[in-house]
Amino acid sequence: MKKLSSFLLSKVLYKKVYNEFHEYVGKLWDVYVSSDHGMPRAIGYKIKKGKEILNCECRNINFYEDNDKVIIKGEGIREIILQSYSYLLSKHLLDRQIVDINGKKLVRVNDLRIAEMAGEYRVVAVDTGVLALGRRLGIEKIIKKFYDLFNKKPEDSLIIWDNVESLEMINNNLKLSVPYKKLSKLHPADLADILEDMDVNYRKKVFESLDEDLAADTLEEIDPEVQLDILENLSQSKRDEVLYNMPNDEIADILDEVDKDTAEKILMNMKKNDADQVRTLMEYKEATVGSIMNKDFICFNINITVKDTIEFLKEINPEDEVSHYIYIINDQKQLEGVVSLKDLILSNSEDTLKAIMTKDVVSINHKENIDEAIEMCSKYNLISLPVIDDEEKLCGIVIMNDLVEDILIPNWRKRLRKVG
């Protein structure tokens, strides 16, 4: 009889359990684990005998295999009161969605690899392969024959536990000090893809756990339909946090897709200045520059010194995408010039912005067509393009990255679909 130091959960579920006196105790129905120290650790066992369910712990437990037959032997088996932070492997993980952190996608848990480590049994890997599912359903041979038809061999698809994030970790039975810690390290674009594939309940739990900055960045990357679903299901406090950290042009894009009552309700909970800017953006026609311009930009008066400008920049700590160019305005808020961040740093600290600015600044009227903005950014190799109103007052900027993501890529996709 061979002792198993590593095995799949499906291999030991529903197998007979005996005590140290060789007496039949029941069948192993599930395994209670705690994840307070990384990999889930077995702390108890659900054993079924007839119609009776026993929640037990063992002073010592071992798993054996004899001629393909699994036997479980426990010593010091006794009933226990479950810990509030324990959960069940089969009930809470098998057939559930889990996040593959390295693969940056949602996968289905078809089996779990358990190993003995320092006298404790821990979940060390997740099996997401089709063979694992077939093994559990008793159709492993059928799956293998099917693959043989195509001269292929089905393989187990194991992901080590350190590289996954369970979506079941946050529930009434399990409390973690840092919810979804691994997910929070993903790039917002990757996290957005994962959230789009989640069901509504999981999506809400995960999104509520993100800090406001990551939540805002992630929401910007999500498809419009899912954006609306998230905002509608968020708590009011979380929604306010997220919108506060989003650019107003992104908020305007989202609110353009909701009904007027919902949009107005969201706007009423925003700061007046931000709400007014969003309303202004929403009034622009769809194909105009004003409809996609960003109201979050950096501008300073023409008479401010380089030293004061740098101090202001340190204080406001602007986002990277709006800090490439500093726009210079006069007392009437009309655009006078532009200074690159590099030129600002290399200039004499006592010089005024007027003395170091480039006067021949390329700009575009807010009523112009978006195609004109794309052409100008391409022609002059601009990262961002200042937008002026009919009185030549600076009213926003168009960021090249926004043009690519919001206009060019969707248009290319439409053309590819037509070709297909």
The tens digit of pLDDT for each residue in 231-260 reads 888 888 888 888 888 888 888 888 888 888
pLDDT at 69 over 70: yes
pLDDT at residue 153, as a whole number: 78
Spatial distance between the Cα atoms of 238 and 245, rounded to a whole number of angstroms: 11
pLDDT of residue 221 exceeding 60:
yes
For residues 131 and 393, give the distance between their C-alpha atoms in angstroms, rounded to a whole number.
Answer: 65
Q: What are phi and psi of 14, to 5 degrees?
A: 65, 20
* Block residue for tokens 């889990």: 98
Q: How far from chain centre, in Å, is Cα 399? A: 24
Q: Quick one: DSSP state of residue 407?
A: I
Residue in this structure with the two tokens 């919108």, named with its chain if needed: 243
- In DSSP terms, 176 is beta-bridged to none
Domain with CATH 3.10.580.10 in the chain: 299-407
Give me the amino acid identity at 119.
G
In the prediction, which pLDDT does 121 show? 95
Confidence of residue 317 (pLDDT cuts 50, 70, 90): confident
∠55-177-37 over CA atoms, to 5°?
Answer: 55
Q: Which residue has the tokens 């900027």?
A: 397
Euclidean distance between the first and final Cα of the chain, in Å? 60
CATH 2.30.30.240: which residues of the chain? 2-86
pLDDT for the residue 254: 86
Residue spans in the chain of domains classed CATH 1.25.60.10? 186-283
Return the amino acid letter for 384. Answer: S
The Cα diameter of the chain in Å comes to 93
**Mean residue pLDDT across the chain:** 86
User: What phi and psi, each to the nearest 5 degrees, are found at residue 59?
Assistant: -65, -35
The verdict on pTM exceeding 0.85 is: no
Q: How far apart are CA 299 and CA 174, in angstroms?
A: 49
Residue 148, pLDDT score: 81
Q: Is 130 left (phi over 0), alpha (psi -120 to 50) or beta?
A: alpha
| The CATH number, out of the four listed (2.40.110.10, 3.90.550.10, 2.30.30.240, 3.40.50.150), of the domain defined by the range 2-86 | 2.30.30.240
| pLDDT at residue 168, as a whole number | 61
H helical segments located in 325-420: 341-346, 353-356, 370-380, 400-403, 409-419
Q: How many residues does the chain have?
A: 420
CATH superfamily, domain 186-283, is MgtE N-terminal domain-like (1.25.60.10)
DSSP 178-246: STTTTGGGS-HHHHHHHHHHS-HHHHHHHHHHS-HHHHHHHHHHS-HHHHHHHHHHS-HHHHHHHHHTS
Q: 34: helix, coil or strand?
A: strand
- 36 pLDDT more than 70: no
Confidence band, pLDDT 50/70/90 cuts, at residue 173: very low
Domain 299-407 sits in CATH at 3.10.580.10
CB–CB of 47/74 below 8 Å?
no
Predicted pLDDT at 305: 96
Q: Which residues contact 133 (CB under 8 A, 6 or more apart)?
A: 108, 110, 111
| pLDDT tier for residue 171 given thresholds of 50, 70 and 90 | very low
